[in-house]
Chains A and B, each alone.
Chain A
Amino acid sequence: MNYAVRVDVTLRSGISDPAGATIERALPALGFGGVHRVRAGKLFFFEVDAPTPDAALDVARGLAERLLSNPVIEDATCALVEG
């Protein structure tokens, strides 16, 4: 079977996020008030050939941990999506 997977990579809490902070600082000047705690991250989509949904997620988690995220500073969450 072929499963579509989505991986969200975000900075771990406590790790400074210069991109999120810069976006947040720019918001008042653009007229967006009351927006707080902006965090920037990355989003990946791919498809995995695997016998079961769990097996596909296992592959995705391995890939997310080994390559798509840097576990020193980032968390990755994997989920199946409608292909």
Chain B
Amino acid sequence: MTSVAVIVFPGSNCEYDAVTALESLGARASLVFHTAEDLSAYDGVVLPGGFAHGDYLRPGALARFSPVMGALERFVAEGGPVLGICNGFQVLTEAGMLPGALQKNRGLTFLCQPETLIVASTRSVLTRAALVGQELVIPINHFSGNYTCDESTHRELVEYDQIVLRYRDNPNGSLDDIAGISNRAGNVVGLMPHPERAMSTLLGSADGLVLLNGFLGRQSALSGR
């Protein structure tokens, strides 16, 4: 994969982190405004973190009505890889492209800290270069990252291997320690942690490399740390 669209909603604020991270891996990453109605020129799409449309009403709720979401639905239907990071994950759940919802953190605390994640499935576009059971240190930065869904949805997530990443030490009350999930096909992934901010040991962790390299369809030279 060489060409990735990073969608910019009014209020997105991690789009440059995402572009910088993807370009450091040799991809061509473009900022694409939320009014775009065609994503067919791209090989992958990233919905970055931030506060899309101010996160008014509920995080991600208003972004569902952005023009780009129709194009995103077509992109997903054709099997294109889509990654929602933090607010991007919230947008994907609100849009119904991923099951469940993200609630306010247990204890109503804004959390900004590194977390150890455990790879639960390598069937997704994000984790395909990682190993099941692999531990990755990736920072979180959110107020509403408490994943929740009803029991039957949770059973399906387990049955279809859609739980992609779990927290080792659950920081926010997420059901079943869930940090990230995929759709049934595995081409749409949402996670609350920020792999684009774990690209260099100088800055705390390079464990985002195995995830973003996987997203770009490459085996990571650094998988396994």
Contact B173 A73 (CB under 8 A): no
Bound complex: CA of A78 vs CA of B29, how far in Å? 45
Check if B94 sits within 8 Å of A18, measured CB to CB.
no
Contact with A along B79-98 (1 / 0, CB 8 A): 00000000000000110000
Q: Is the CB of B107 within 8 A of A22?
A: yes
Chain B: minimal CB distance from A69 (Å): 9
Interchain CB contact under 8 A, A18 and B101: no
A70: interface (CB < 8 Å): yes
Per the CB 8 Å criterion, the residue count for chain A at the interface is: 11
State A38–B108 Cα separation when bound (angstroms): 15
For B148, list chain A residues within 8 Å (CB): 15-16, 72-73
How many A-B residue contacts, CB cutoff 8 Å? 38
Q: Is the interface of A mostly helix, strand, loop or mixed?
A: loop
Q: Which residues on the B side are within 8 Å of A67 (C-beta)?
A: 57, 61, 65
User: Please, which residue of chain A has its CB at the minimum distance from the CB of B99?
Assistant: A72
Chain B residues with a Cβ under 8 A of chain A: 57-58, 61, 65, 93-94, 99-101, 103-108, 146, 148-150, 173
A68 at the interface (CB under 8 A from B): yes
Chain A 57-83, CB-CB to B under 8 Å as 1, else 0, gives 000000000011010110000000000
Task: Determine if A27 is an interface residue (Cβ-Cβ < 8 Å).
Answer: no
- Given A16-B146, A16-B173, A67-B57, is A72 in contact with B108 using a C-beta cutoff of 8 Å? no
Alpha-carbon separation in the docked complex, A14 to B148 (Å): 10
Among B100, B103, B107, B146, max chain A CB count under 10 A is at B103
Closest approach, in angstroms, between the C-beta of A13 and any C-beta of chain B? Answer: 11
